[in-house]
Structure formats: C-alpha cells, structure tokens
Amino acid sequence: FPAGEAERDRLAKNLRLAEELGAETISLTGQDVAEELLELARKRNISQIIIGKPLHSRLWEWLHGSVVDKVIRHSEGISVHVIPGKPGQDREVPRAPGVARRPPAPLLPYAGIMVLMFLVTLCAASFKTFLGPVNIALMFLLPVLAGAVKWGTGPAVLAALVGVLAFDFLFVPPTFSFTVADLRYLISFVIFLLVALFTGTLSSRLQEQARHSRRREARTAALYALSREIAAVSELEPVLESVARKVAETVEGQVMVLLPDKNGRLAVRAASSPGLVDSLDESERAVATWVFERGVMAGRGTDTLSASAGLYLPLRAGEEVRGVLGVHTGDRERYLHPEQVRLLEAFAGLAALAVTRIQLAEKAREAQMLAESERLRTALFNSLSHDLRTPLASIIGAVTGLLEGGDVYDPAARRDLLQTIKQGAMRMNRFVNNLLDMARLESGLLSLRKEWCDIQDIIGVAVGRLAELRSRPLKIDLQPDLPLVQADFVLIEQVLVNLLDNALKYSEPGSEITIAARLEGGQLAVAVADRGQHIPEEDLGRIFDKFYRLQSPRLVSGTGLGLAICKGIIEAHGGRIWAANNPAGGVVITFVLPLGEAAPGRVPAEGAGDGHGK
C-alpha cells in the first residue's frame, strides 16, 4: 500500500471512483506483485490487463525488479496494455490540501539497535580470546537478524554497517584501524550487508502481510458477527440497533442509521450513542438526504460534500435505497483507507439486506392479513346466503302459514310450524355464536370460568340442544366411575355441540353417531364418531384451520369455523384435539382435558348405553 498520505488519498479516491462507475476492486496480498496479479487474472479468466508505466528510476528497478516487465514476460495468452503517464508528469505526488507531511521515522528502533550492537561488541571483546574471528562475526550477525525481524530494513542495515565497522576496527588485524590486511574480510562485509538487506526486506513484507491478514480477519469476523446477530431477528428496531452498535465497535466511532418515515423524510432510527441524534443538524441531514436520493456515498473523506462532519453511505439493496448509514470518527485515516471504506460498504450492504428482508416480511404479513380478511368476507357472504337465508326462509314460511292459515291448522300442525320456527332460530343462533366465539379466541378475550364438571351432564345438555339428533341412532359410551373434570361447562358444551353438528352434516341420514368418554393417562378423553366418509390423510390436521372445509358430494352448510373454535377452546384448557379415520367407516374426533388437581368424586355409569338424545 502506498506509504505517503497524498498517495493514499489519491488511491482511495481512484478506487471509490472506479466502484461508483461499476468496477470491482480487489486488494491482493503476496510476495510478488506481478505473480499475484497474473494469478488473479487466470482465476477470473481475464484476457486484458491495463497497467501504468512505472515512474521509478532504473536503479530502483534494477534493485527491486520491474513489475511491468515481469507481467509482460509471464502473461501467456493475456494482452497487456501499458498506459504512459502525462508528458512532464512529476514523479513526486503533490500533497493534498490540509494533509500534513508524513511524520519522520521513529528513532527508537535505531537507538535500540545501537544499544544491542554495543552489548554484542562488549560481549565479543570480553571473550575475544575464546571465540575467534569466525564466531565473533556470527555474533555480529545476530543483531542484524533481530533488527530485521523486530524493526525492518532500516535498523537491520544500520546494524550491518555498525557491525562491519566494529568488527573491522576491533577484531580484524591490524586492530584499532579500518585498514583490512586480508581481502577475504571484504567479502564477509559485503555478505553482511546483503544479509541485512535481504532479511530486512523479507521481514518487512512478512510483517505487512501479517498486518493485512489480521485486518482482513478482523473485517471478516466483524461481518460474520453482524450477519449472525441480525439473521434470526424479525423486528426492525433490534436489527438497526445491532448494526449501529457493531459498526461503532469496529470503526471506534459513532454510528447512526437513518430510514425514511411515512412522509419520506429521513429520521434517525438507531444510534450508537444518544448524543449523536442531537448532533444531526440540518446541514448533516441535508447530506444524508442527498445520499439517500442519489444512492452514492458522500461526506467527510470523499469528493462530495467533504465539509460534512460524518461519512454517509446508502443502504442499497439492488436498485433501491432503503436508508443511510452515518459514521462519525475523529480519525481521518479511517475514512480514506480503501479497506475501511469497503468494510463500511459491506456493513451497509448487510444492513440494507436485513432492512429489505424485514420490510418485505411486513408487506407479506399485511398481504396475508388482507387475503385472510378477504376470505373471511367471502365466507361470511356465503354463510349469509345459505346459513342465514335457509333458516330465515323456513321461519318466514312457518310464520306466514300461521298468520294466513288462521284456524285451518289443527294444534299438531301449529306445533310443527312453531317447532320449525324454533329450529331455524336456534340454527341462526349457533351461527352467530360461532362468529362471536371465533372473534373472542382471536382477540384473546376468551376467559375460562372453570368449575368441577360432570362430563355426563355436559354430554346431556349438548345432545339436548340439537333437535336433529332425534332422527339419528345415538350411542353414548361412558367408562364407569369417571372423575369430575375442572373445565368451563358452557365452553366444553359448545365444543360437543360443534362436534355433533359436524358429525350430522358429514354423515348419511339415519347413520349412527357415537359419543365415548374414557380416562386415559390421567386425562379425560372424549370422542365423537360418525359413519360418514373417510378424510384424506393429508387433510386430517387441516380440518381444524379456520374456513377450511372438506369437499362433499352433498351440499353442506357452514363457515368452516366450528372445528377451529373447538381447537381454540380445548387448547385454552390445556388439552389437545385431533381427528382420525375410523376403520369401520367415518371419522373419530377426540379431545383430551386435564382433570385438574384433586378431582372430588366420580361419575356413576348410569347414563351409559344406547339411546337417543333427550
């Protein structure tokens, strides 16, 4: 990466411009620039490489090698285009306005290497008679290697120079003179310098690669942590708060997330610190609005509205901008570094995807609610046209006969007409009660009035409410000595009425209906069985859904709410309900209820046996 601030500024701006124009920017790490560039080109099946003409001197290229020459030499099957610089272009890049010069290299590493060389020289001089020239030379190599690993090329070269001079002055005959009597020592001095230069350069590259790898690992870990944190969240506010907090921790600054309100005006929906909301004045809001409307990054550290106090990035998902991510930090380098900018853009992309997912989910829920409302309206209209009109027609017909017939009808006929009126009214009453019960279940207003109930009494009342059962064989099978159950008498009666009404509708006229009650596993199990048609296996669980109705060869009235109400009431009691096909024919619907603690007494089996409803 360029060392000078002006070069970093220029590179960051060029990379952002390329990305805004649709290019993909990639940072590579490796020992050889040309080798890494060609390897990427082959992986991506790139056929054209455009590279700038180098501005380095011939000496620099002789020492370090020419990237352009190596790329051209090894570019098999890839066209390489070298772009020359402008005529007379200065090799020195001018400093950007307001950017300070690069600070001088710290002196501490050089001071440290001098101290280390002094200690090694002192040790070598103390044991001169025991070590010999070869071992002393190896001792002077240790600070060179240590300086290269610890501080890089500069201190290593200094250590090599000081070591050569100290070794020549103190240990090479004639001592205390820089004169070299044996020319072979000159070769040792050159090797010393080459080792220092090689190890220092290699160490610097390895350290830079390690720093780059750590930054990349930290960036990947931050993105992974944020993606895990917001992946399973279905509410918008927690997602935005997680984004603001995680980005603030990563950039060591302050972060806000702005989304449009119902009027289209940007509003702060989440912030890493409460004081950040107050700092959003009209000028900063104008910058955020500009970013939201145009979908491009702007603010501090960019070429657009750079006087702003913060950097603002669009939350872009596809072609649509969902909001704006605002970042405030006092370190200007955090805005200019391309890797930091790409990390912020990755955060913004994750936030945009999360916001899009939640907003689409909300729209899907709204659409589902609209579809449910439409289905409810259709069901109500169908019920009004059949479940209400049919009993109303029978009531009107019976009342008209009574009014117009006068004394024509004998008492038995008049009683039959009145019974018809009563049955029609009760049928409409059941329909209205089903609608009210469903509304109470969905609104959570259903309250249970539990008391100790005799299941035989509940069955008797439910059977008595359905006059249609008088024309059917009815079998009531109760286990002897059933205990009392703690339940809402009226609601469990309503469950039995709905189950019996369902059995009447979906079984052949004259076929038998059975009601059975058993004690199973400390729970009371009640079953209603008919002799109608079997239900397909895939529909056994769906018959308890609202408005779900089975196809029947006969015209069957109803709204599809009866079994859904049964399920809601039974589950409110802590029980469960299910349906199964009867091997002998028909369907058995069973529900179980917990007895409650310390059931007082048991029910005699006097009511068990065959019979008809009363």
Identify whether residues 139 and 195 lie together within a single domain. Answer: yes
| Burial group, residue 448, by CB count within 10 angstroms (0-12, 13-18, 19+) | middle
Identify whether residues 461 and 316 lie together within a single domain. Answer: no
CATH classification at residue 564: 3.30.565.10
Q: Compute the distance between CA of residue 492 and CA of residue 486 in angstroms, rounded to an integer.
A: 11
Identify whether residues 79 and 120 lie together within a single domain. Answer: no
Q: Compute the distance between CA of residue 381 and CA of residue 51 in angstroms, rounded to an integer.
A: 74
Q: Compute CA distances 321 → 234, 236, 263, 293, 314, whole Å.
A: 20, 16, 16, 8, 6
Q: Compute the distance between CA of residue 373 and CA of residue 232 in angstroms, rounded to an integer.
A: 28
Identify whether residues 601 and 457 lie together within a single domain. Answer: yes
Is the residue at 97 inside a domain? no
User: Which of 603, 577, 582 is CA-nearest to residue 592?
Assistant: 577
User: Which of 297, 322, 310, 323 is CA-nearest to residue 248?
Assistant: 310
Identify whether residues 480 and 592 lie together within a single domain. Answer: yes
Strands ordered across the beta sheet of 609-611 = 576-581, 587-594, 523-529, 513-520, 474-478, 609-611
Is the residue at 501 inside a domain? yes
Identify whether residues 458 and 601 lie together within a single domain. Answer: yes
Identify whether residues 455 and 593 lie together within a single domain. Answer: yes
* Helices (H) then strands (E): counts for the chain: 18, 17
User: CA angle 222-226-227, nearest 5°?
Assistant: 115
Biggest alpha carbon–alpha carbon distance for the chain:
154
Strands (E), 114-168: none
Given 347, 362, 377, the domain boundary residue is: 362
Kindly report whether the global pTM for this prediction surpasses the value 0.85: no
Residue with tokens 């901008």: 321
Given 322, 342, 362, the domain boundary residue is: 362
Strands (E), 129-245: none
* Predicted pLDDT of residue 267: 86
Identify whether residues 112 and 82 lie together within a single domain. Answer: no
Query: What does the DSSP 8-state code read for residue 124?
Result: H
Is the residue at 528 inside a domain? yes
602 forms beta bridges with 483
Tell me which amino acid residue 492 is. I
Query: In terms of DSSP bridges, do strands 320-328 and 311-317 run parallel, antiparallel, or are they unpaired?
Result: antiparallel
* Predicted pLDDT of residue 34: 82
Q: Compute the distance between CA of residue 301 and CA of residue 313 in angstroms, rounded to an integer.
A: 12
Tell me which amino acid residue 22 is. G
Is the residue at 367 inside a domain? no
Asked if residues 300 and 327 have their Cβ atoms less than 8 Å apart, the reply is: no
* Predicted pLDDT of residue 500: 93
Is the residue at 517 inside a domain? yes
Is the residue at 388 inside a domain? no
User: Please, what are the averages of pLDDT over each run of 10 residues along the chain (614 residues)?
Assistant: 58 72 75 81 87 72 73 84 66 42 66 89 86 82 82 81 85 79 77 77 78 76 79 82 84 86 86 75 88 87 80 86 85 64 84 87 86 69 64 82 75 83 79 71 73 92 86 91 90 91 86 93 92 86 78 60 85 92 90 77 46 39
Q: Which domain, by its residues, includes 554?
A: 448-611
Identify whether residues 513 and 547 lie together within a single domain. Answer: yes
Q: Compute the distance between CA of residue 387 and CA of residue 18 in angstroms, rounded to an integer.
A: 69
- Looking at the 3D structure of the chain, how many domains does it have? 4
Length of the chain: 614
Query: In terms of DSSP bridges, do strands 48-52 and 79-83 run parallel, antiparallel, or are they unpaired?
Result: parallel
Reported for 440-447, long-range contacts at CB under 8 A and 24+ positions apart, including other chains, are 441/565, 441/568, 441/569, 441/572, 446/491, 446/568, 446/569, 446/572
User: Which of 487, 494, 375 is CA-nearest to residue 429?
Assistant: 494
Identify whether residues 203 and 271 lie together within a single domain. Answer: no
User: Which of 518, 499, 517 is CA-nearest to residue 507?
Assistant: 499
CATH classification at residue 302: 3.30.450.40
φ and ψ of 53, to 5 deg: -65, 135
* Predicted pLDDT of residue 608: 41
* 320-338 exposure pattern, b = at least 16 Cβ within 10 A, e = fewer: ebbbbbbbbbeeeebbbbb
* Predicted pLDDT of residue 51: 87
Identify whether residues 475 and 570 lie together within a single domain. Answer: yes
Identify whether residues 485 and 599 lie together within a single domain. Answer: yes
Q: Compute the distance between CA of residue 312 and CA of residue 347 in angstroms, rounded to an integer.
A: 12
Q: Compute CA distances 130 → 122, 170, 171, whole Å.
A: 14, 15, 13
Q: Compute the distance between CA of residue 482 and CA of residue 303 in angstroms, rounded to an integer.
A: 84
Question: Tokens representing 370?
Answer: 């609209």
Is the residue at 605 inside a domain? yes
pLDDT in tens, 121-170: 899 888 887 887 778 878 888 888 888 778 877 888 888 888 888 888 88
Is the residue at 412 inside a domain? no
Given 63, 90, 117, the domain boundary residue is: 90
* Predicted pLDDT of residue 492: 92
